[in-house]
């Protein structure tokens, strides 16, 4: 775009002026022409189509009717007073209702004249009505019908000041008239041709005021593509930049791995695990700092990959650490890796919030001397007192629990050279999307489960069927299995109430199963007591574990084959999937039972449905993304780069793939954008960089 033109303040558009400009500034953060023209409509109303009154149902969003006002009446008293106009179109009658401006509407309505009415139908007492519809006398000669009207996001405040969507559309139209000649192409002819994109100028016109649906779609596609394309260029450049700026320790000796794999590890790695180990080993030998995301569904065997990665660093004289989000999980990692480490003669220790002062001190000393090779722990690892002699590899488990900030804090513990970083997550999402969300990370995926796993059977049961469910539990325990019963997490605000739910649940389970032993674990317990109860369950001294989501991540008890999730509607999808992943780890058939009330929101029903339908973590993550949106899901939005205006990462995955491929190809051919044919791209990039500060900051 032509910068100086688009930097012009909005107040200079005819009909805006200082007052309205101020409102646009504060309410929508629209300051200049560029901001306004990029305030795209979020949908268009199809004024090309008329519905029949008889077709009205509540599923319809906005509808347009053509017909006559037959008669009107004022109903109710005082603030409940409303004007009801009876509108007919030959197929039936619907009520148009006004609560405000009654007198004015009453005066302006002409009975028995043909009108076009536009509004959203709602049902009340079995009858449909349209509240505060837009009405307009039908004029068959005017071009008032047959177009797609843009609908813009505005705030209530703006509406009150007569800056509603319609007003905004008028202003935007005026701006477009003078702006069009100033809109420059931002992509190369090559890319436009290859992807059959609409030119920029036409796209800006049709995104606001499309000629028809096809033009709107082409314009939308073009603008989304462009936005994602430039995002990808910047991410790729940032990644390349980091790789040249940050050297990495070079780890080459693989003797430990050979010993471990040939003599100690009791199973073969899956093909996917082998592939991923190769990727990691290659990274750590390359001389640049590794920043890799390891994705793998629950149970896919990430822990052993982590350990094998540590072996490479240790083999080459460096120290390693593994950070987990909860104490239970850190302890479990420690317990499962210690036997391996012992057999190899590698020192390993655990550091959590509940490690006592004196043992902490010893740990610190051994770390500093370099004698301690593997340190496993929780957030406690981030504390300043924890200093390594030569930290070569940092592994972070279940990354979505950690912010970018904490990640970079751990990094800084590498003395001369930054340590390699491996982030593990059980939220599998498509590679390109992961690369975009995690920005600077390369991605490895374990897409294969260890052999011999039986798929978990998932069912949905209403609370009223609890007796049946209990009967089923009893049968399974008779066969020697163990059972988890999980309650929603206790949040600060509802601690008492929820803790009571959990404790009531615990009591009723004990009553229902008097001959079995029942454990209880929740976040309000002392870590020591939690651990004690966990251990009883691990040793099969208790058959039923009543818990909150503290057991969500990573806990591994292969004999537990039933997961009951109470109030399943209160959990997010990826959480449900994580919980379910606690079973299905042994040779037996496992079950996950989602318990809910009859009443469920549409979204909750959707979540339950997906859980019952599939065990595939990718599918679950994609649905989650659609329901919740990407920012929410990751909790680690890369600021700046991901401030998308029009593209939606949850929905535009395919465009994202194409845009990334195009960006990659471009940078491969012309890394510094020196070729003349790419001049528009170079200019646009410069303009974006001028407007967003700090994007090259490494998180
Ligand atoms: P997650 O990816 O969820 O962290 P874990 O690393 O906890 O999964 O592995 C789950 C279980 O699978 C562990 O008991 C582990 O020992 C076992 N496992 C991992 N890889 C293999 C394999 N290749 N063959 C057999 N079992 C494996
Ligand atoms: Mg794990």
Note whether 410 and 358 are same-domain residues: yes
State if residue 302 touches ligand 1 by the CB under 6 angstroms criterion.
yes
Distance 413 CA to ligand 1 centre (A): 29
In a domain, 523, yes or no: yes
Note whether 398 and 473 are same-domain residues: no
- Structural domain boundaries enclosing 140: 49-146
Last residue of a domain, one of 561, 592, 614: 614
Q: Can you give the pLDDT at residue 637?
A: 42
Last residue of a domain, one of 614, 648, 681: 614
In a domain, 216, yes or no: no
Note whether 406 and 467 are same-domain residues: no
What is the mean pLDDT of the segment spanning 381-397? Answer: 90
Quick count: other Cβ atoms within 10 Å of Cβ 47?
Answer: 15
Q: For residue 269, which atom of ligand 1 is closest to its CA?
A: 23
User: Phi, psi (5° rounding) for residue 559?
Assistant: -75, -15
DSSP state, 692? S
Give 257's contacts (C-beta < 8 A, 6+ positions apart).
308, 311, 312, 315
In a domain, 373, yes or no: yes
- Model pLDDT for residues 165-197, shown as the tens digit of each residue: 889 999 999 999 999 999 999 999 999 999 999
Q: Closest-lying ligand to the alpha carbon of 325?
A: 2
Between the alpha carbon of residue 619 and those of residues 400, 428, 613, 623, 626, the distances in Å are 18, 9, 10, 6, 11
State if residue 556 touches ligand 1 by the CB under 6 angstroms criterion.
yes
Tokens 């190369």 -> residue: 188
Shortest CA distance to 659 belongs to which of 38, 354, 25, 224? Answer: 224
The yes-or-no verdict on residue 590 having pLDDT over 60 is yes
Report how far residue 392's alpha carbon sits from residue 283's, in angstroms, rounded to the nearest whole number.
Answer: 13
Q: Closest-lying ligand to the alpha carbon of 448?
A: 1
Report how far residue 570's alpha carbon sits from residue 631's, in angstroms, rounded to the nearest whole number.
Answer: 20
In a domain, 471, yes or no: yes
Phi-psi region of 144 (alpha: psi -120 to 50; beta: other; left: phi over 0): alpha
Note whether 518 and 597 are same-domain residues: yes
Mean of pLDDT over the chain: 86
Distance 612 CA to ligand 2 centre (A): 23
State if residue 269 touches ligand 1 by the CB under 6 angstroms criterion.
yes
If pLDDT is split at 50, 70 and 90, which confidence band does 693 have? very low
In a domain, 692, yes or no: no
The yes-or-no verdict on residue 568 having pLDDT over 50 is yes
State if residue 559 touches ligand 1 by the CB under 6 angstroms criterion.
no
Q: Can you give the pLDDT at residue 589?
A: 92
Pairing, β 82-88 against β 93-98: antiparallel
Which has the higher per-residue pLDDT, 475 or 534? Answer: 475
List the CATH number of the domain containing 473.
3.40.50.300
User: Phi, psi (5° rounding) for residue 359?
Assistant: -70, -30
Note whether 366 and 493 are same-domain residues: no
Note whether 596 and 556 are same-domain residues: yes
Which has the higher per-residue pLDDT, 253 or 284? Answer: 284
**3-class DSSP state of 193:** helix
Q: Can you give the pLDDT at residue 630?
A: 63
- Model pLDDT for residues 80-115, shown as the tens digit of each residue: 889 999 999 989 999 999 988 888 888 889 999 999
If pLDDT is split at 50, 70 and 90, which confidence band does 47 have? confident
Report how far residue 35's alpha carbon sits from residue 3's, in angstroms, rounded to the nearest whole number.
Answer: 12
Number of domains in the chain: 3
State if residue 294 touches ligand 1 by the CB under 6 angstroms criterion.
no
Buried b or exposed e, range 355-386, using 16+ CB within 10 angstroms: beeeebeebbebbeeeebbbbbbbbbbbeeeb
In a domain, 436, yes or no: no
Q: Closest-lying ligand to the alpha carbon of 302?
A: 1
Give, rounded to a whole angstrom, the gap between the first and last alpha carbons of the chain: 30
Last residue of a domain, one of 614, 629, 656: 614
Q: For residue 273, which atom of ligand 1 is closest to its CA?
A: 23
Note whether 603 and 502 are same-domain residues: yes
User: Phi, psi (5° rounding) for residue 2?
Assistant: -80, 105
- Model pLDDT for residues 604-615, shown as the tens digit of each residue: 999 999 999 999
In a domain, 91, yes or no: yes
Note whether 266 and 332 are same-domain residues: yes
Report how far residue 15's alpha carbon sits from residue 337's, in angstroms, rounded to the nearest whole number.
Answer: 70
What is the mean pLDDT of the segment spanning 205-220? Answer: 92
Report how far residue 341's alpha carbon sits from residue 586's, in angstroms, rounded to the nearest whole number.
Answer: 24
**3-class DSSP state of 520:** strand
Note whether 419 and 488 are same-domain residues: no
Give 170's contacts (C-beta < 8 A, 6+ positions apart).
15
In a domain, 475, yes or no: yes
State if residue 678 touches ligand 1 by the CB under 6 angstroms criterion.
no
Take atom 17 of ligand 1 and give the residue whose Cα is closest. 301
If pLDDT is split at 50, 70 and 90, which confidence band does 329 have? confident
If pLDDT is split at 50, 70 and 90, which confidence band does 222 have? very high
Note whether 271 and 344 are same-domain residues: yes
Q: Can you give the pLDDT at residue 99?
A: 87
- Model pLDDT for residues 248-270, shown as the tens digit of each residue: 899 998 999 999 999 999 999 99
List the CATH number of the domain containing 139.
2.40.50.140
Note whether 375 and 470 are same-domain residues: no
Note whether 477 and 588 are same-domain residues: yes
Give 488's contacts (C-beta < 8 A, 6+ positions apart).
498, 501, 548, 549, 566, 567, 570, 571
Which of 363-372, 390-399, 554-563 has the highest mean predicted lDDT (pLDDT)? 363-372
């Amino acid at each position: 775009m032509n910068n100086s033109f688009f930097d012009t303040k909005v107040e200079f558009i005819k009909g805006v002026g200082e007052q309205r400009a101020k409102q646009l500034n504060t309410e929508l953060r629209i300051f200049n022409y560029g901001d306004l023209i990029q305030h795209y409509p979020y949908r268009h109303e199809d004024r090309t189509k008329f519905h029949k009154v008889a077709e009205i149902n509540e599923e319809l969003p906005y509808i347009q009717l053509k017909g006559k006002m037959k008669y009107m009446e004022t109903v109710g008293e005082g603030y409940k007073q409303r004007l009801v106009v009876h509108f007919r179109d030959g197929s039936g009658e619907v009520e148009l209702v006004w609560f405000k401006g009654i007198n004015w509407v009453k005066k302006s309505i002409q009975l028995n004249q043909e009108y076009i009415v536009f509004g959203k139908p709602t049902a009340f007492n079995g009858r449909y009505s349209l509240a505060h519809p837009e009405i307009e006398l039908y004029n068959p000669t005017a071009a008032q019908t047959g177009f797609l009207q843009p609908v813009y996001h505005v705030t209530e405040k703006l509406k009150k000041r007569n800056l509603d969507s319609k007003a905004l559309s008028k202003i935007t139209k005026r701006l477009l008239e003078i702006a069009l000649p100033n809109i420059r192409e931002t992509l190369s002819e090559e890319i436009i041709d290859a992807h059959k994109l609409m030119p920029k100028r036409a796209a800006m016109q049709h995104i606001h005021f499309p000629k028809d649906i096809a033009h709107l779609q082409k314009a939308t596609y073009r603008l989304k593509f462009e936005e994602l394309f430039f995002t990808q260029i910047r991410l790729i450049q940032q990644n390349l930049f980091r790789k040249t700026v940050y050297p990495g320790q070079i780890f080459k000796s693989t003797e430990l791995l050979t010993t471990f794999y040939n003599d100690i590890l009791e199973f073969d790695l899956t093909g996917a695990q082998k592939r991923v180990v190769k990727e990691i080993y290659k990274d750590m030998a390359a001389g640049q700092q590794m920043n890799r995301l390891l994705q793998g569904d629950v149970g896919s065997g990430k822990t052993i990959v982590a350990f094998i990665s540590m072996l490479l660093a240790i083999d080459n004289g460096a120290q390693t650490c593994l950070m987990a989000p909860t104490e239970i999980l850190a302890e479990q990692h420690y317990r499962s890796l210690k036997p391996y480490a012992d057999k190899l003669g590698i020192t390993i220790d655990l550091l959590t919030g509940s490690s006592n002062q004196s043992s902490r001190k010893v740990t610190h000393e051994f770390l500093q001397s370099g004698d301690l090779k593997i340190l496993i722990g929780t957030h406690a690892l981030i504390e300043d007192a924890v200093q390594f002699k030569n930290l070569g590899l940092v592994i972070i488990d279940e990354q979505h629990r950690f912010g970018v900030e904490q990640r970079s804090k751990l990094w800084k513990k590498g003395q001369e050279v930054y340590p390699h970083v491996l982030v593990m997550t059980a939220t599998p999402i498509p590679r390109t999307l992961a690369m975009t969300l995690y920005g600077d990370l390369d991605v490895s995926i374990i897409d294969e489960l260890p052999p011999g796993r039986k798929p978990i059977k998932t069912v949905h049961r209403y609370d009223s069927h609890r007796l049946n469910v209990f009967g089923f539990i009893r049968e399974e325990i008779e066969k020697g299995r163990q059972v988890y019963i999980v309650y929603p997490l206790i949040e600060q605000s509802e601690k008492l109430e929820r803790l009571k739910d959990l404790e009531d649940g615990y009591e009723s389970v004990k009553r229902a199963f008097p001959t079995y032993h029942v454990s209880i674990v929740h976040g309000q317990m002392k870590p020591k007591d939690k651990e004690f109860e966990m251990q009883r369950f691990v040793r099969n001294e208790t058959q039923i574990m009543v818990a909150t989501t503290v057991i969500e991540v990573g806990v591994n008890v292969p004999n537990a084959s039933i997961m009951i999730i109470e109030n399943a509607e209160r959990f997010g999808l990826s959480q449900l999937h994580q919980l379910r992943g606690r079973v299905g780890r042994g040779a037996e058939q496992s079950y996950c039972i989602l318990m809910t009330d009859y009443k469920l929101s549409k979204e909750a029903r959707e979540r339950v449905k997906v859980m019952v339908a599939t065990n595939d973590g990718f599918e679950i993550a994609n649905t989650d993304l659609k329901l919740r949106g990407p920012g929410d899901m990751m909790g680690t939005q890369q600021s700046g780069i991901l401030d998308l205006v029009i593209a939606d990462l949850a929905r535009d995955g395919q465009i994202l793939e194409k845009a990334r491929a195009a960006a990659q190809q471009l940078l491969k051919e012309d890394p510094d954008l020196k070729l003349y044919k790419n001049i528009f791209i170079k200019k646009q990039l410069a303009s974006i960089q001028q407007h967003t500060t700090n994007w090259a900051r490494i998180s």
